[in-house]
Amino acid sequence: MNSELQTTEKAASGCVGFLVLFVMPIMSIAAACAGLISGATLTFYGERIEPRRVEEVLETRGVVTVPVQRVVESGRVDVTVARRILGLIPMQRITLEDVIDADSSSGTTHVRRTNSSVASSSYDTGNVELVTRAGRTWRSPEIDHAIGPDAAEIEKRVAEFLEHDTPRLTIWSVPWLSNIVGIPFALVALFFIWAWIAKLRQMIVRTGNPPDSESPEPSES
């Protein structure tokens, strides 16, 4: 009876040890990666490579002739989009040459509660699209719960930058909710990694320094 109880206790302790050493760290790392990747800082760097060229022409409006500026050459604007985890670790960087148009799409996501006594909630989401003269289209990841401008505001600022002779433009957006979720899991994952390394060092030390075996006493002659 005692042997069966000891076997059960060993199996239970083995399951707990497996959960603590393997399952929980893997789940923490996965949750941290998902939160930090979706919460990566999104930054737009715009630079005017070639200036716009305009000319003044006379335009007749009814019986009145007025001077009007007409765009001869729209110039060239390059936009670099960078994504950094926590604003520090580079994740993605793409340069769009000769951007001519900016667009955005937005929507509302509704969250339904399983508990009928709790009211459902909703939040706004959006994406930004940039189009180059060569026909290439880039679409941003979903922007929601962000510190900084939303998708519509980013579109507006990029469009104004394309239409004016401003030399540079910088826009950044930080999804705060994803980082609030991802950072605690990242700290837990770092703790487990530190525990793994400490355990591995102990095993290496024990393997390299085996206990001294008792040497036989010399026999008296």
3-class secondary structure per residue, 42-105: EEEEEEEEECCEEEEEEEEECCEEEEEEEEEECCEEEEEEEEEECCCEEEEEEEECCEEEEEEE
CB 77 within 8 A of CB 95: no
**Which two structure tokens, joined as six digits, stand for 49?**
């490579």
How high is the pLDDT of residue 216? 54
| pLDDT tens figures, 155-194 | 999 999 998 888 999 999 988 888 888 888 888 888 888 8
Strands across the sheet containing 137-139: 99-111, 121-132, 137-139
Distance, CA of 213 to CA of 211 (rounded, Å): 6
Query: For the chain, which residues score pLDDT lower than 50?
Result: 5, 11-12, 14, 213, 221
How high is the pLDDT of residue 200? 80
Q: What angle do CA 34, 38, 41 make, to 5 degrees?
A: 135
